[in-house]
């Protein structure tokens, strides 16, 4: 059985780590380089770095910050935000990232997934999906530009297309649960996990160690990502791992 992964996430804006609730009300959470070093020492399995305003502001991800963070890490490192072309991917990977996360650019031009997968391999390409439930449609809709823009894409259709085009992993964020600390959206996570053949990272809603266990057992996620509960020391990666091991979940 594959081991499940615990992944802290650095949402970076203007060179600082921030965290909000449902993508708004952002507050400062620290220096990205210091936090990267801390999580590497803590035993995190991977780290995700998202330049959350890059696509909205129409600029490139901060390469210098990426380099500084990468220099502190011995664990796999995914970077997203403002990556719109193959050249952007090359730049980020050269700066020290192991994987790139595509969101808005992939929705706008899905061929970008294929281009990246063909050039670097599927293991390098993460497609991030910001999902919000639509009660009228009784399904989830894809949002872009850091959750600011609603699209007409259905989440289930989009994740299948993304994987068909070469995505090696899906980073799935529930906008409804984000920052609420009431648990991951298990219905969404399970539905996507059953829809695709690649690993799914659950994101949005972690409030305690039990929520991680549920993401793996009930949501069928391969990895679970969290930000504020780690940044503000409400729990630690080590504590979460110890708890879910007791629940019979395989972790490193």
**Any domain includes 184:** yes
**Any domain includes 47:** yes
**Any domain includes 251:** no
Answer whether 142's CB lies under 8 Å from 130's CB: yes
Total-model pTM? 0.92
Higher pLDDT, 15 or 169: 169
Residues 20 and 96: their CA atoms lie apart, in Å, by 27
Report whether pLDDT(7) > 80: yes
Active site residue 31: no
Please tell me the predicted confidence (pLDDT) of residue 155: 98
The string of pLDDT tens digits covering residues 92-109 is: 999 999 999 999 999 999
**Any domain includes 180:** yes
**Any domain includes 127:** yes
Task: Return the closest-CA partner of residue 103 out of 23, 30, 40.
Answer: 23
Number of domains in the chain: 1
Active site residue 157: no
**Any domain includes 252:** no
The string of pLDDT tens digits covering residues 113-151 is: 999 999 999 999 999 999 999 999 999 999 998 888 999
Please tell me the predicted confidence (pLDDT) of residue 1: 60
**Any domain includes 198:** yes
Q: Going by C-beta distance under 8 Å and a sequence separation of 6 or more, which residues neighbour residue 252?
A: 3, 5, 43, 45, 241
Length of the chain: 252
Q: Going by C-beta distance under 8 Å and a sequence separation of 6 or more, which residues neighbour residue 166?
A: 113, 114, 116, 117, 118, 122, 125
Please tell me the predicted confidence (pLDDT) of residue 65: 87
**Any domain includes 46:** yes
CATH of the domain at 136: 3.20.20.70
Residues 138 and 133: their CA atoms lie apart, in Å, by 7
Residue 64 pLDDT class (50, 70, 90 cuts): confident
Report whether pLDDT(156) > 60: yes
Report whether pLDDT(23) > 80: no
- Catalytic residue (one of 51, 130, 178, 222): 130
> What is the span of the domain harbouring residue 55?
5-246
């Amino acid at each position: 059985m594959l081991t499940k992964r615990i992944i802290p996430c650095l949402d970076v804006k203007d060179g600082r780590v921030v965290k909000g609730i449902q993508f708004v009300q952002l507050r400062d959470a620290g220096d990205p380089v210091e936090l990267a070093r801390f999580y590497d020492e803590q035993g995190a399995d991977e780290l995700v770095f998202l330049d959350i305003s890059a696509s909205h502001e129409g600029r490139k991800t901060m390469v210098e910050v990426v380099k500084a963070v990468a220099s502190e890490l011995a664990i796999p490192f995914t970077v997203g935000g403002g990556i719109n072309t193959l050249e952007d991917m090359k730049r980020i990977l050269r700066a020290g990232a192991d994987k790139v996360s595509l969101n808005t650019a992939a929705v706008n031009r899905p061929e970008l997934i294929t281009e990246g997968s063909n050039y670097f391999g599927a293991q390098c390409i993460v497609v991030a999906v910001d999902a919000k439930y639509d009660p009228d449609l009784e399904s989830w809709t894809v949002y872009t530009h850091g959750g600011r823009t609603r699209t007409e894409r259905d989440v289930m259709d989009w994740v299948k297309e993304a994987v068909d085009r070469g995505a090696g992993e899906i980073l799935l964020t529930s906008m409804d649960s984000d920052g609420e600390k009431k648990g991951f959206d298990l219905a969404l996570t399970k539905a996507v996990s059953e829809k695709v053949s690649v690993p799914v990272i659950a994101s949005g809603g972690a409030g305690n160690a039990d929520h991680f266990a549920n993401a793996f057992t009930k949501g069928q996620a391969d990895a679970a990502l969290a930000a504020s509960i780690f940044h503000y020391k409400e729990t630690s990666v080590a504590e979460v791992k110890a708890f879910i091991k007791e629940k019979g979940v395989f972790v490193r």
